[in-house]
Each structure stands twice: as C-alpha cells, then as structure tokens.
Structure 1
Amino acid sequence: MSYPVFDLHCDTATMLAFQNMPAELAASAGMLGQGEPPAAPDLPKPPVAADLAAGGFQLTANKIGATPWAQCFACFIPDSFEPAGAAALWEHVSCCLDRELARHGDRFSGVRSAAGIRPALAEGRIAAVRTIENARLFAHDIELVHACAERGLLMASLSWNAPGPLASGHDAPERGLTATGREALRRMEEERVILDVSHLNDVCFDEVARLAERPFVASHSNARAVCGHKRNLTDAQFAEIRDRGGIVGLNYADLFVVDDPAAMPPTFDDLSRHIEHWLDLGGERVLALGSDFDGCDPVPDIASADKMPAFQEHLEQRFGAEVTEALCGGNALAFFERFGR
C-alpha cells in the first residue's frame, strides 16, 4: 500500500535555481561564481543538468513515481544574502520554479493555497507548495509578506544558522527576535502564512512561543534527546508545538539523526528512535516528514524519493498503518487545511 506523502521541506527548487544564477546576484552574496552555491560546509552543490522531472536530484517526479505526493519547495536564502539580495533571490527561485512546473504540468500542480493540495493529489499530480527558509527579504520590505502570500507562499522561517535581520539561528544562541522579526511574525499571522521554527535558536524559539497567536511548525527538525545537535528540538519545544496543534517534520539528514554519522552511517532504526521518542511524548498527531532532500546527506535507507515505498513498508511494520499514514502525510495535510491560507 502506498501512503500519501506530504513533505514539509526540500531545497530542490533552490538547487535548480543555482544552476543559472545571474552573475550580479551571485556576486552580491559573495558566491563562488555564477551558478555555484555559497560557500557553506553543509550545503551540497547542485547536480548538473537536472530538472524536476528527472536527473540527479534526490527528489524528482520520476523518483516520486506513483506515490501521491505534496512537496514543500523551499526558497532557501543563505545567510550571505543581505535583505535586498534575498528579495532578488526569492524572485529568481520563484521564476525558476514557475518555469519548471509549467514545463512538467502533467506531473506537477503549483498550488496557491492549502485548499489546492488535496485536489492536486486527487488528480494524480504532485502538489508543489511554496515556502521560504530564512525569510530575511522581509527586512528589506515588510510588505513582501503580503506580496509573497499572494504569490502562493504558505510557510516561512525567520532564520538559517547565523544571526539575521529577523531572528538568529542555532549558531547565535544568545540573540532573540529583532523588532523587524517581531513585526514579520505579526504580519505572517495576519496573512495566515505558517511560521516555521526550524533553525531558530532556543532564545528565539522561546520568544516566538510567547508572541505567536497561531500554531507553528518545525518543518525539518529531530529530537535533541535522541541526537544532541542543537538544530534539533528539546522535549519542551516539541511539547510546545504539540500543545498548540502544530506539527514537526522528521529530518533525514544524517547529522541530525545520530551524534556521529561519520563513525557509522545511520539506519532506519536510528530514524525510528526519533519517531518512538515523539510517540512517547504523545505526538501521534504531531509527526510529519521534513526530508531536507537536496540540502543534506540523508540516511541511506531514505536517500532519495524513490526509496519511499520501501521506507513506508518499514514504517508500517514498526509502527502500524495508522501511525504511518499520519506521519507520511495525514497530519501535515490536516494541519495545512486547518491553519494555512
């Protein structure tokens, strides 16, 4: 049996856009050269001559196959981009995604609201959901919150790893939200753009928990009690998301699954420990998937989208049909339909 998938995060659209990055945009961010990603130790280079239908990406239509699939395509904005450059990058990634969705319209449906996800799945097409990772462009012009929402943005995070103009990531543990970040949070809630707290440091998370009036999600974060990386969620943070009615996406990145992936590659059993821990915390309706495809080195058992059928078989054997359905897509779809635009 194939369970519908709703994956809360991948970097595939941005990796695609990096292949034809305008030279002036690349230079403005200190990138290595036209078409190359910024210098960052945890950012892979895009595969050559790939597209959303086929090629070298971890996530393509061919690799998804017949599995019903909704995919959040993040516009990932590296910390090297100033807010104005971030706005230009959002435009570039969005246009590249638009062209690719039109080119492969038989396989993809670009949805502009949460209400469009289920019909796309019913038509047998991949529902493409727009998100932003590190929405520092909102510091350039706060009205971009509305403009991006009108273009179909359904979810956004306020930071990546470093201190930013809105919030700070896990590499800056002592800084909270900026005044602009607090305004961005308010405007996002007005527009019903879902807040993603993955990458926020603990101080920022606590401030968001005090200020947010709507449920929020961690699109691709694991359990810190299982793997101690500070990108992962503490039990208290998971409980905060749970009690608000939010969801948490399981990240396949090996460095967020086990403490030392270089010593021994993680396995399905290692991923399962995160699921089991969250189930122990009462997270049956919180569990979701947040692969981080094309932005990480994933666990070999789920190294690309074509591994999903076998992965679902393992999940069903370990956790049963009800948990597998909820984890793979049911919880995320219900959340977006209730709280999304």
Structure 2
Amino acid sequence: MTLPIPVFDGHNDLLLRLFAAPDRRAEIWLTGEGKGHLDLPRMRQGGFAGGMFAIYVPSPGTRAAARLDTMMDVPPYDLPLPAPLTQDVALRVAQTMADDLHWMADSSGGAFRLCTTVAQIMAARADGAIAGVMHMEGAEALDADGAALQAFRARGLRSLGPVWSRPTIFGHGVPFRFPGDPDTGPGLTEAGARLVRDCNHLRILIDLSHLNARGVDDVARLSDAPLVATHSNAWAITPSTRNLTDRQLALIRESGGMVGINFATVFLREDGRRSPDMTLDPLLRHLDHLITHLGEDHVGFGSDFDGTTVPAPMADVTGLPVLTDALTAHGVNAELMQKLCWNNWMAVLQRTWGG
C-alpha cells in the first residue's frame, strides 16, 4: 500500500471540539470517537503531518448556529453576524484552548509536538511526529495594549487572524453572504493597526482569512511580512464574501505570501451551498485559479477540518489521499505536489518567522 503524502494544513478547529467536551478529551484526541474530522489515529492514517490549530471562541447559541447552517444550503443567503464578545469572556476560553493544545502534546507520548519554528516542524516530521502550531482565529481575547499578545506568544502563538467574522476592537470580518463581495465595511481600527505592527515585531503570522476588503488593504499597507490567507478560496469561482478577489490575490502574490485552499463546501461550490454531495472538481478549479494568479510557490491547503462541512469524497482527514490522488489525476506532478502539501507552507513560515 502506498503511504500517504505528508500534508501541512493551514487551519483546523479541533480545539473547538475539545473545548465543547472537556470530559472526553482523551477519547476525542487519543483514541478517536468516530466523529468529527480529526483525531490522532486518523491524522497519522491520512498523512496529516502538521498544521495550524486554531483557538476560536464560539458565540453562544448552538441552536441558532444549526439554523444558520441550514440556511446556507438554500442560497442566496445573508446570515446575521453574532454580537461582539467581551475580552474577559474570550480570554478565559482562549486560555483553556491553549491549555488543551499543550495537553495534546503532553498526552501524545511524543506523537504530537507543539512547534514554534520551521526547524522544529521539520524535526518533528523527520521523527515521525505531527507538528502543531498555535493559531488564533479572531483576536477577541487580546487587549489593545499588546500584553495578552505577548503572553500568548510566550505560550507558543505564532499565527493570528485579527477577526473571525464578528467585529472586534481590531477590525471587521465579512458576513457569511452568498453571493456577496468582501467589500463590506470599514477597515482596521487604530488598535488593529497596532496589532499588525506588534505581530510584525514578534514574528507572528497575520491571517487575512475572514477580514473584509478594507481590512486586507490595511494589512497590506502596514505589514512588512508576507500576506497569508490560511483558509480561503477564489472569489472568481465562488462569489462568497469569504473568498479572495483577484485584486487581493495580486496583493498576496506581490508580498511573497500564500493562500491555503479551504475545503468548506460553501466556499468551493459554485452554487454556494453547504451540501457535501459534490465531487472534488470545484476544488481543482479553485486550485487552477489560485496557481494562475499566485504561482505554484504560493498555494497550499487550509482544510478548516472540524469547523465546516467538507466534500463527501474526503469525509475526514483520512480522505487526504483521496485529494492527492485527484491532484495527480488532474496533472499535478511530484514536484508541485510537494509544494502544495508541504514546501510552500514551510517557505512562507520561514519568511515570516525567520530563523
């Protein structure tokens, strides 16, 4: 049997699953419960060799979330944004998720390592361990003065999205709207501009995914680091507010950044539906478009596993070989495969983090 190709993934929400079921952390992570997209055994089976693990503070109201998910299967839709979160509430949740990520490493018997440098990621891969990078999706847990950012960096934070979709003190995210344009409101606040400068100084990657168009422009103007969207797709293929326009792709290309293709059906399907009943052909069309506008050295994967609905042929992380087989059938050669699955992420992280 052919071994799966090692994949570095730009975004997942496993920490959210652990936070929702603290009494079952060991079952969910170490042995698997047959649910969700990720656990340690299935990650090893599917070739998941490393990735960004998101600290994401959920909005209250699971019933409302389920209702909104249903609405996303009947386009057009324009879902209301949840209310902003206070920092004290968000900070407690974010600290718990950071604790869980450290616990994942401590409980894995060496099979999973929390990494803060490219050298550590490469060493983990060489030793057969999965590399985890701490990411924050939405900066509600941070204060405007930078103290919390410093504290989270000391715990391993190396990647940060200023917003999810709720507004924060730093900026504004796009609503979940289809069809829709990402130009939906004002850009970064004064605190957001400081956050960009602080992240540059601390060598923390700034994630453009979820930012609105003016926010992306502000980051491009202020940042001296490569522009990266960890889990976004091409607006020209699927006109969702969450996807990137060709003008935004040009900004990313000019900065030496990259885009991780999001596996979420709503951002892949041309009709904007949430249904998993689809082939991988739309993903391949997004791939072709991104490579055309960014180049082969600036595209990777950002699955959004455990945070979204993925195409039925993939099902979960064990479906990564289904994806790589589809890429091979699409004409992706061995050199480009290595770039998409691993090398491009390592290169942009090196450019962002330094030595």
TM-score class, shorter: 0.7 to 0.9
1:214 aligns with 2:225: yes
Task: Report the equivalent of 1:284.
Answer: 296
Task: Report the equivalent of 2:39.
Answer: 60
- CA, structure 1 residues 52+246, in 2 after alignment: closer, same or farther (shift >3 Å)? farther
C-alpha distance in 1, partners of 2:163/2:14? 19
Task: Report the equivalent of 1:32.
Answer: none
What is the CA distance between 1:311 and its match in structure 2? 1.6
1:224-263 alignment to 2 at 5 Å? 224-258=235-269, 259-261=271-273
Aligned residue type for 2:218: E
What is the CA distance between 1:267 and its match in structure 2? 1.6
What is the CA distance between 1:340 and its match in structure 2? 1.8
67-76 vs 233-242, greater mean Cα deviation: 67-76
- CA deviation map 1:284-333 (0-9, x unaligned): 11111100000000112222110112221211221222222111111001
Task: Report the equivalent of 1:311.
Answer: 323
C-alpha distance in 2, partners of 1:75/1:52? 19
- CA deviation map 1:107-146 (0-9, x unaligned): 2111133321000000001001110000122236512222
- CA, structure 1 residues 225+320, in 2 after alignment: closer, same or farther (shift >3 Å)? same
Identity %: 31
Question: CA contact under 8 A between 2:275 and 2:309: conserved in structure 1?
Answer: no
What is the CA distance between 1:102 and its match in structure 2? 1.0
C-alpha distance in 2, partners of 1:96/1:151? 12
What is the CA distance between 1:149 and its match in structure 2? 1.4
Return the match for 2:308 from 286, 296, 300. 296
Task: Report the equivalent of 2:153.
Answer: 149
Question: CA contact under 8 A between 1:83 and 1:140: conserved in structure 2?
Answer: no
Task: Report the equivalent of 1:134.
Answer: 138
C-alpha distance in 1, partners of 2:48/2:167? 38
Question: CA contact under 8 A between 2:240 and 2:272: conserved in structure 1?
Answer: no
C-alpha distance in 2, partners of 1:244/1:52? 39
- For the aligned residue pairs, the C-alpha RMSD in angstroms reads 2.1
326-335 vs 247-256, greater mean Cα deviation: 326-335
- CA deviation map 1:23-48 (0-9, x unaligned): xxxxxxxxxxxx9xxxxxxxxxx999
Task: Report the equivalent of 2:282.
Answer: 270
C-alpha distance in 2, partners of 1:149/1:161? 23
- CA, structure 1 residues 282+210, in 2 after alignment: closer, same or farther (shift >3 Å)? closer
Task: Report the equivalent of 1:40.
Answer: none
C-alpha distance in 2, partners of 1:263/1:127? 31
C-alpha distance in 2, partners of 1:210/1:50? 42
C-alpha distance in 2, partners of 1:7/1:283? 19
Aligned residue type for 1:130: M
Aligned residue type for 1:237: Q
Question: CA contact under 8 A between 1:158 and 1:196: conserved in structure 2?
Answer: yes
Name the TM-score, length of structure 2 as normaliser. 0.84
Report the secondary structure of 1:285's partner residue.
helix
- CA, structure 1 residues 124+47, in 2 after alignment: closer, same or farther (shift >3 Å)? closer
1:114 aligns with 2:125: no
Runs of 5+ consecutive residues of structure 2 not aligned to the other structure: 60-83, 176-182
Q: Which stretches of structure 1, 4 residues or more, deviate above 3 A after TM superposition?
A: 46-49
- CA, structure 1 residues 280+162, in 2 after alignment: closer, same or farther (shift >3 Å)? same
324-333 vs 73-82, greater mean Cα deviation: 73-82
What is the CA distance between 1:53 and its match in structure 2? 4.5
C-alpha distance in 1, partners of 2:346/2:100? 26
Task: Report the equivalent of 2:351.
Answer: 338
Return the match for 1:70 from 20, 38, 50. 50
Task: Report the equivalent of 2:335.
Answer: 322
Report the secondary structure of 1:170's partner residue.
coil
C-alpha distance in 1, partners of 2:320/2:25? 21
114-123 vs 100-109, greater mean Cα deviation: 100-109
Task: Report the equivalent of 2:192.
Answer: 181
Name the TM-score, length of structure 1 as normaliser. 0.87
- CA, structure 1 residues 230+282, in 2 after alignment: closer, same or farther (shift >3 Å)? same
C-alpha distance in 2, partners of 1:264/1:309? 18
C-alpha distance in 1, partners of 2:167/2:105? 33
Question: CA contact under 8 A between 2:9 and 2:50: conserved in structure 1?
Answer: yes
What is the CA distance between 1:211 and its match in structure 2? 1.2
Task: Report the equivalent of 1:159.
Answer: 163
Aligned residue type for 1:11: D
Aligned length: 317
What is the CA distance between 1:224 and its match in structure 2? 0.3
Question: CA contact under 8 A between 1:68 and 1:124: conserved in structure 2?
Answer: no
Report the secondary structure of 1:162's partner residue.
coil
287-296 vs 62-71, greater mean Cα deviation: 62-71
Report the secondary structure of 1:65's partner residue.
helix
Question: CA contact under 8 A between 1:111 and 1:152: conserved in structure 2?
Answer: yes
C-alpha distance in 1, partners of 2:102/2:313? 31
Question: CA contact under 8 A between 1:170 and 1:201: conserved in structure 2?
Answer: yes
